[in-house]
Structure 1
Amino acid sequence: MTSIRFKAACVQMRSGRDPLKNRDAAAALVREAAAQGADFVQTPEMTSLVCRDRAELFDKVGPEEQDPTLAALREVARERGVVVHLGSIAVKDGDKVANRAFLIGQDGGIVASYDKIHLYDVDLPNGESWRESATYTGGDRAVLAETPWGWLGLTICYDVRFAALYKALAENGASFLSAPAAFTKQTGEAHWHVLHRARAIETGSFMISAAQGGLHEDGRETYGHSLIVDPWGRVLAEGGTEPGVILAEIDTGLVAEARGRIPTLKNARGFQVEAVAATAPAKAASA
């Protein structure tokens, strides 16, 4: 694999309940990243709206062709000549909404879109309860999108816990993987870093994930700590909890180097699972 270098940026946000304010904040941060030399800029999950109230959410979202954040970031991509990965927005999908990501080319055109496959239906020890399936429709296809530097595997947030998805994306050509997120503070503190480093190491790929961070208007608290991790599992850049931009230089040659050192994708083998039941111990013979 030929080594190519480019600058990747993650835009960290604290999106609220006003889609137009969120749109303007996202556009300003993408422009800031471009001004710092970024060639590829990613925003977090739910860039355009963070809102737990289902009725309010449905009132504020529409079809993707009418979404103001998507339109604005397409314009910024065209204006600055950068690739923009819109981490996700909520768009109408029948009687539910889709949690949808977009890759936007340097000309402002939509290269690919991806609907979050794994929905966050959990009950946490601190009493938090989430049922994304009540509001969102889950996707059913993994997506690879072409960039000027190689193939990008698109995923979103909770997907990062499902290693088979990332293995499949890497086996099909992805050099870069992403999980833009709105991770809860509790689960982020426990698992955010180890999950990203594990997905990078397992696949020999870069992990690039922009995040929401801080206390939001709807009362949720997200972890932040946007991350860029290299194929050897080293953290190249990390955010805190405040909105802002992180950048790292990506050397695509490190993908082939890591996969050559430890070729887990090449060495993987199919197998069957065998369950062996315990047998009762034989009774001792009586004298």
Structure 2
Amino acid sequence: MKSYLAAAIQMTSQPDLEKNLVQAEELIDLAVRQGAELVGLPENFPFLGLEEDKIAQAEAIAQASEKFLKTMAQRYQVTILGGGFPVPVGDGKVYNTALLIDHNGKELARYEKVHLFDVNVPDGNTYRESNTVMAGLKLPPVYHSQTLGTVGLSVCYDVRFPELYRHLAHQGADIMFVPAAFTAYTGKDHWQVLLQARAIENTCYVIAPAQTGRHYATRQTHGHAMIIDPWGTILADAGDQPGIAIAEINPTRLEQVRRQMPSLQHRVFV
């Protein structure tokens, strides 16, 4: 593993596949021009609209998203995480799928979100992800890269389930992706502290691409795409507008923190 720059992209995706992919490419281009070698896109990056519209267009969104990720990775010669897009599984449902693609356009890892957001938020909004999404059945994968380190995948609501990240750490993860479309209401209180907790307890870098702003009707997201180091320090925060958070992933810093705080070696229950 070497030192390199990673970028967490922040978008305001709409119910418009083509416009979203244009926005995503502009932000990938910005990240690469600033030197990023590992780039993450947020959950719902290609489409964020009503659930019935998502299901009606799911096949087209899935095909376009996978093609887009492979094209971008090859064009810009970077490794890209597509942080969540619908992949049809039949019976009117989809997997919420995250895909990691290398600079040759090769699929490195695929994860189907296991924790579904079925929540009555205190602001009056109700979310039932399970109405249209089928929960994945497998723990998230890690990908071992000699140059980028060991990268673990997760998606949004997963961040509230620390056992998932402990699994990633047990598999050797140095970097954990948490692409999200966190609600504005919960995000203001929980987003940052949950990300820092996952980084601190696993002494890992956390890269958290995010959605921000208003997408349709009452759907509003928190923003603040972040990169956090293994000590829990926020290295970059994209604020509340579309853009990028970019920071260095440094193996020396990772080793230093793990030497100073060897908590992973002190686990009693594995």
TM value normalised by structure 2: 0.95
Q: Percent of pairs identical after alignment?
A: 38
Note if 1:87 corresponds to 2:83. yes
- Which of 31, 34, 57 is the aligned partner of 1:33? 31
> Within 2, Cα distance between the matches of 1:82 and 1:70?
15
User: What is the CA-CA distance between 1:133 and the residue it aligns to?
Assistant: 1.0
2:64 corresponds to which residue?
A: 68
1:99 corresponds to which residue?
A: 96
User: What is the CA-CA distance between 1:63 and the residue it aligns to?
Assistant: 7.1
- Which of 44, 47, 71 is the aligned partner of 1:46? 44
> Within 1, Cα distance between the matches of 2:5 and 2:18?
28
- Aligned pairs for 1:159-178 (under 5 A) are 159-178=158-177
1:284 corresponds to which residue?
A: none
User: What is the CA-CA distance between 1:252 and the residue it aligns to?
Assistant: 1.7
- Aligned pairs for 1:1-287 (under 5 A) are 4-54=2-52, 56-62=53-59, 67-95=63-91, 96-141=93-138, 142-147=140-145, 148-270=147-269
> Within 1, Cα distance between the matches of 2:22 and 2:65?
8
Q: Is the 8 A contact 1:227 1:238 kept in 2?
A: yes
The amino acid of 1:123's aligned partner reads: N
The amino acid of 2:38's aligned partner reads: F
> Within 1, Cα distance between the matches of 2:164 and 2:171?
11
Deviations for 1:145-179, whole angstroms, at most 9, x for unmatched residues? 23332111100000000001111101111000011
For these two proteins, the number of residue pairs brought into alignment is: 267
> Within 2, Cα distance between the matches of 1:85 and 1:15?
16
| CA shift in 2, pair 1:73/1:218, >3 Å | farther
SS at match of 2:25: helix
> Within 2, Cα distance between the matches of 1:48 and 1:237?
24
> Within 1, Cα distance between the matches of 2:106 and 2:79?
10
User: What is the CA-CA distance between 1:218 and the residue it aligns to?
Assistant: 4.2
Q: Is the 8 A contact 1:31 1:76 kept in 2?
A: no
TM value normalised by structure 1: 0.89
Give the structure with higher Rg (CA): 1
| CA shift in 2, pair 1:98/1:63, >3 Å | farther
Deviates most, 199-208 or 20-29: 20-29
User: What is the CA-CA distance between 1:47 and the residue it aligns to?
Assistant: 0.6
> Within 1, Cα distance between the matches of 2:259 and 2:164?
21
User: What is the CA-CA distance between 1:82 and the residue it aligns to?
Assistant: 0.6
SS at match of 1:39: strand
Q: Name stretches of at least 5 consecutive residues in structure 2 with no aligned partner.
A: none
Q: Name stretches of at least 5 consecutive residues in structure 1 with no aligned partner.
A: 272-287
> Within 2, Cα distance between the matches of 1:87 and 1:5?
23
> Within 2, Cα distance between the matches of 1:92 and 1:267?
42
User: What is the CA-CA distance between 1:19 and the residue it aligns to?
Assistant: 0.9
Deviates most, 118-127 or 196-205: 118-127
The amino acid of 2:67's aligned partner reads: A
> Within 2, Cα distance between the matches of 1:52 and 1:155?
23
Deviates most, 177-186 or 20-29: 20-29
Q: Is the 8 A contact 1:63 1:92 kept in 2?
A: no
> Within 2, Cα distance between the matches of 1:130 and 1:39?
35
Q: Is the 8 A contact 1:122 1:130 kept in 2?
A: yes
User: What is the CA-CA distance between 1:20 and the residue it aligns to?
Assistant: 1.3
Q: Is the 8 A contact 2:177 2:207 kept in 1?
A: yes
> Within 1, Cα distance between the matches of 2:195 and 2:260?
20
Structure 1 vs Structure 2 CA RMSD: 1.5
